[in-house]
Chain A
Amino acid sequence: MSEPHASGSDGHDSHGGMAKYAYVFIALCVLTTASFFTYSSAWPYQDQPAVGWAFMMAVSCTKAMLVILFFMHVKYEANWKYVLTIPAGMMSIFLMLALVPDIGLRTRHYSEERWSAASVPQSMAEHHAEEDHEAASAETAEDH
């Protein structure tokens, strides 16, 4: 079958030209600097990492949209773009959500024995050590 050539979408029109690419490039650089800003000591939410994570994801999604819309020319494509991208995008989210009960929440059902072999964050290790130390001190006091 010969390749179908419908009018419009496949015609390699200039999609905004050099100026548009330059704007998108500058926007991408500014956004990269913005996400890097969370790493600097000037970032005001040092004690709330979730704020930084949400900010970085918002920046990443914006960058991704710019690349998809302008560099991949999706802004100028016909409606077939939705058929190919939306189901794949939804499947991506389902793939991640399907992992949450068994993988994401795995430590909820850890037994004491399993915890004894698990990696423990520094703060928790110190907390346990303090508790144990207090219990040991109380025991010593009782003995006396």
Chain B
Amino acid sequence: MAEHANASGEEHAHHVKLEYQPALPLNNGKLIMWLFLSTEIMFFAGLIGTYIVLRFGAPAWPKPHDVHLSEPIGAANTFILICSSVTVVLALEAALANKDKLAKGFTLVTLVLGSLFLGIKGYEYNAKFNHGIYPWAPHGQVYDRADPYYTSAVRTRLTALRADLEARASGEITEEERERLTLCTNLLENTVKPVELTAATSTSLVERQAAMEKLADMVMPLGGGHGDESHGLNDEHHWLQLPVRIPGGQLWASTYFLLTGFHAIHVLVGLIVFAMMLPMKLDSSRANFIENIGLYWHFVDLVWIFLFPLLYLF
């Protein structure tokens, strides 16, 4: 503390004393957390900004239903995170009031809500994987356009399925498997083969394109409207898992999994800290710590507030 020095001190005895402040008026933990959060702002702004720029600059972008996104599920997750943000501030208030058990209770509720969020996210990811939408190439079944590469991928998949079923047919085969074999053969001979023939031999670009589009529509028609459930081959026969044509789908998958994946990692880190807090005594001496993890958790909530409309409703 440095006091205002003056040679004629007596004259200025009643002057206002200036207070020397050695740092910002907040504790070191909170300062570090805010510095970290300011880097996080730029990290997520980079990701979200890239998504926006890619999305609005893309020639085509899938509608939420084409990529099997469910708006009510997204809204439910938003509600869950908002509730968890409230329980964190309530845990802080309880700790400040030295109500250890209450603070622990709110922390536990936050932990459960965060886990529920991750569970729902996992369910959503699983729905994407079941429809052949992956963020990486070897498993991904999404094609941007109905072109010869697409028709050839459909043929390859059907041929592999047929070969597998034929191998089993030499031994014991169930009635269901026999039906599957018939369907694969029918599709290969009566649907894919004529399409590939038209695509290879027709002199009209319209005919070539129309034939390939027709095949893509048979596998998975693009609906896009509210509540429209597409009923293509992939929906009628889940085991087929044929490649699908979704214009802009590959870029959509990359950005969706990157954004939600990084967000989920942040949620997971928060949950680990909440789990570590449970055995602690959460009284006012821990208030700074609870406030700091609370700041982090609110930031995670904040990111989702923007991700929800951008990914599910745009």
Q: Which residues of A contact B (CB under 8 A)?
A: 1, 3-6, 8-10, 12, 14, 17-18, 21, 25, 28-29, 32, 35-36, 38-41, 49, 52-53, 56-57, 59-60, 63-64, 67-68, 71-73, 77-78, 80-81, 84-85, 87-89, 91-93, 95-96, 99-100, 103-107, 115, 118-122, 124-125, 129, 132-133, 136
Having A60-B308, A72-B294, A78-B24, one finds 7 other A-B pairs with CB under 8 Å, namely A9-B26, A25-B86, A39-B313, A72-B298, A119-B247, A120-B59, A120-B145
Chain B, interface SS category = helix
Chain A interface secondary structure, helix, strand, loop or mixed? Answer: helix
Complex: A49 Cα to B299 Cα, angstroms: 28
Whether the Cβ atoms of A119 and B145 lie closer than 8 Å is yes
Contact B314–A56 (Cβ < 8 Å): yes
Q: In the complex, are the beta carbons of B298 and A67 less than 8 A apart? A: yes
With contact pairs A64-B306, A88-B41 given, residues A12 and B206 touching in the complex (Cβ less than 8 Å):
no
| Contacting residues of chain B (16-43) with chain A, CB-CB under 8 angstroms | 21-28, 30, 34-35, 37-39, 41-42
Task: Specify which of B60, B206, B305 is in contact with A129 (CB 8 Å cutoff).
Answer: B206
Given known pairs A64-B305, A67-B301, A118-B144, the reply for A92 and B42 (CB within 8 Å) is yes
In the complex, the answer to whether A6 meets B302 with C-beta atoms within 8 Å is: no
Given A88-B41, A120-B60 in contact, is the A96-B78 Cβ separation under 8 Å? no
- With A14-B96, A39-B226, A64-B306: A85-B53 Cβ-Cβ less than 8 Å: no
Asked if A104 and B206 make an inter-chain contact with CB atoms under 8 angstroms apart, the answer reads no
Residues of B within 8 A of A68 (CB): 298, 302
Scan B57-96; emit 1 where CB is below 8 A from any A CB, else 0: 1111100000000010001001100110110111001001
Residues of B within 8 A of A29 (CB): 79, 82
Contact of A21 (CB < 8 Å), options: B45, B58, B89, B209: B89
Q: Interface extent on B, as a size class?
A: 35 or more
Q: How far is the CA of A96 from the CA of B48 in the complex (A)?
A: 8
Distance of A9 Cα from B34 Cα, bound (Å):
14
Task: Given A132-B205, A133-B206, answer yes or no on A4-B85 (Cβ-Cβ < 8 Å).
Answer: no
Quick check: B71 and A67 within 8 Å, CB to CB? Answer: no
Please measure, in the bound complex, the distance between the C-alpha atom of A135 and the C-alpha atom of B308, giving whole angstroms: 45
A77 to B30, CA, bound (A): 12
Q: What are the residues of chain A within 8 A of B60 when measuring CB–CB?
A: 119-122, 124
Task: List residues of chain A with CB within 8 A of the CB of B45.
Answer: 91-93, 95-96
Say whether B85 contacts A12, CB under 8 Å.
Answer: no
11 interchain pairs (CB within 8 A)? Answer: A32-B79, A39-B313, A59-B309, A67-B305, A71-B294, A80-B25, A84-B38, A95-B45, A105-B57, A129-B210, A132-B209
